[in-house]
Amino acid sequence: MWHGRFSTPTADLLLRYSESISFDWRLWRHDIEGSIAHSAALEAAGLITSDERARIVFGLREIGEDIEAGRFEFKTELEDIHMNIERELTRRIGDAGAKLHTARSRNDQVALDIRLYLRAETDVLIALVKDLQAALVSLASANREIIIPGYTHLQRAQPVFFAHHLLAYVEMLARDAERLADARKRLNVLPLGSGAIAGSTIPLDRELVATILGFPAVTQNSMDAVSDRDFAVELVAHLALIAVHLSRLSEDVILWCSSEFGFLHLSDAYTTGSSLMPQKKNPDAAELTRGKAGRVIGSLMSLLTTIKGLPLTYNRDMQEDKEPVFDAVDTVKAALEVFAGMLREARVNAAACAAAVSDPMLLATDLADYLVRAGVPFRSAHEHVGKAVALCTERRCSLPELTLADYQGISAAFGEDLFGVFDLQRAMAARKAIGAPSPENVAAQLARWQGQLEIA
C-alpha cells in the first residue's frame, strides 16, 4: 500500500512482527459496516457514481458472507483486516474498490472499527450482567427464609438472610451495568472523516455517515479522534471492576461449598473432580473466575501503559490496544455466562446454614443494643457484653447458658427479659432500617429486583 515511496519490499520478519490480522480479523463485520457507510458519503460528494457504490456494497457484503462462512483467506502480508478486505474488494470489483479509501486513513478507520465493536459488545455485556443479576435474584428468592452468619474478617459477625447476602452482589452488578451504559455514551461518537491526522482536502459529509452508523455525534478534533483510546480504557476499567466483583462472589461460593461451611451445593455440570482423589468435587468455575480477574486487571494495565507516553497522534504502539481489549471483553463475557448458569443449578443446604446460624454469639451486638435501650451508653454496653463473652469463653458455654445472676454480676441493667434477645426470628424482624435484612425489607428488595429484571 506504500510501494510508491519504498524501493525495497518489507522484510518477511518485520511482516510477521507487525501484522495484526491474526487478532483484528474479528473486526471484519465492523470494518465492512463502516466502509459501506463511507461509500455513501463518497457518492454524496460526487466522488463515486451510484453504480460504483452499488458494486462496492455488493462486493463488501459478499466478502462478509465468505468470512462468516469461513471461506475467506486472511493474508499476513496485507497486515490487517482493513487491507485484507480492501484488497479483496478491488480484486473482485476492480477500480471502484480502489476508490473506497478516498478521504480516509487506516487511522480513522480502525478508530471507527473499535468503537463499533465495543458499542456492540457493551450491549451484550449489559445483557449478561442483567442475566447474572436475575440468576442471583432467583436463587435468593427460592431461599428467602434461609439465614446464615454474616462475616467480617472471615469471623462470624451477625446473622443475615442468605437472600440479603446475594442481593449485595445484585447491587454491585447494577452499578456495573450503569457504568457500562455510561461508557457507551462516550464511545458512541464517530471518528471517521478525521483522516490520518488532519482530515482531508476532500470534505465528506461526516454527519451523513454518523446517521447511517447510528452515532449521535461526530468527533470535533481530528488529532484527538485518531489518537483517542480513552473509551477503550474506560470500558476495560469497568470490565476490571466487574471481574473484581465476580472474584469476590467466587470467594464466597468457594467458601460456601467447602466442607467447613457446606452452605451451597453446586451441580456436577459446573464442578470438576480430582485426577487422584475420587471424593473431590471442586468449584473450578468460581476458582477460574477468581483467577481470570487478574487477567482482566492486567489488560487494563496493559492499555494504560501502552498509551501513557505517546505523543499525538497515531503511533504504531496503538496496535497493541486490541488484544487486551478483546481479551478483557471475552473473559468477562464468559465469566458472566458461566456464573449465571452455575447459580441457576446451585442448591442451598438449609440444615448446614441453620446449624451455623444457631451460634448465639452472632447476637452479641443485639445484647449490647438491649442494654442501650435500658439506658446504658453504647460503649459501656459493649464492655458489659464483652465481659459476658469472656466469661463464656472461660466456662466454655454460650451466652444463653449464663445465668441471670451472672449477667447482673456484670451490670444491674440486665433484666430477666434479656434471654429473649437470643430469639433469632425476633432478632431478624428487628432489623427494620432501610437497607437492613429484616424479612420485610428482604421481601421488598426481592420484589423490586424481580420487577426491574422482569423475572416471572
Contact (CB, 8 A) for 105 and 196: yes
Bond into 49 cis (ω within 30): no
**Of 328, 310, 330, 327, nearest in space to 107 by CA:** 310
Residues 137 and 453 sit within 8 Å (Cβ to Cβ):
yes
Dist. CA 442–CA 447, nearest whole Å: 9
CA 271 to chain centre: 22
- What does the block give as the cell for 88? 479483496
Instruction: Compute the distance between CA of residue 313 and CA of residue 246 in angstroms, rounded to an integer.
Output: 36
Give the cell for residue 115: 468503537
Half-sphere exposure of 453 (CA within 13 A, CB side): 27
CA distance 297 to 283: 22
H or E stretch including 128?
A: helix 106-142
Distance CA 64, CA 3 (A): 27
Q: How far is CA 177 from the centre of its chain?
A: 8
Which amino acid is present at 237? A
Question: Could you give the C-alpha distances from 88 to 91, 183, 296, in angstroms and in order?
Answer: 5, 35, 35
Going by DSSP bridges, is the β-strand pair 147-152/155-161 parallel, antiparallel, or unpaired? antiparallel
Q: What SS3 class is residue 191?
A: coil
Cβ proximity of 132 and 173 under 8 Å: yes
Q: Can you tell me the distance from the alpha carbon of 280 to that of 257, in angstroms, rounded to the nearest whole number?
A: 12
* Residues 132/338, Cβ–Cβ less than 8 Å: no
For 9, phi then psi, to 5°, come to -65, 155
Q: Phi and psi for 354 in degrees, rounded to 5?
A: -65, -40
Residue 259 burial (CB < 10 Å; 0-12/13-18/19+)? exposed
Catalytic residue IDs: 153, 274
Distance between CA atoms of residues 12 and 9, nearest Å: 9
**CB under 8 Å to 192, separation ≥6 — which residues?**
34, 37, 38, 104, 108, 109, 111, 112, 206, 209
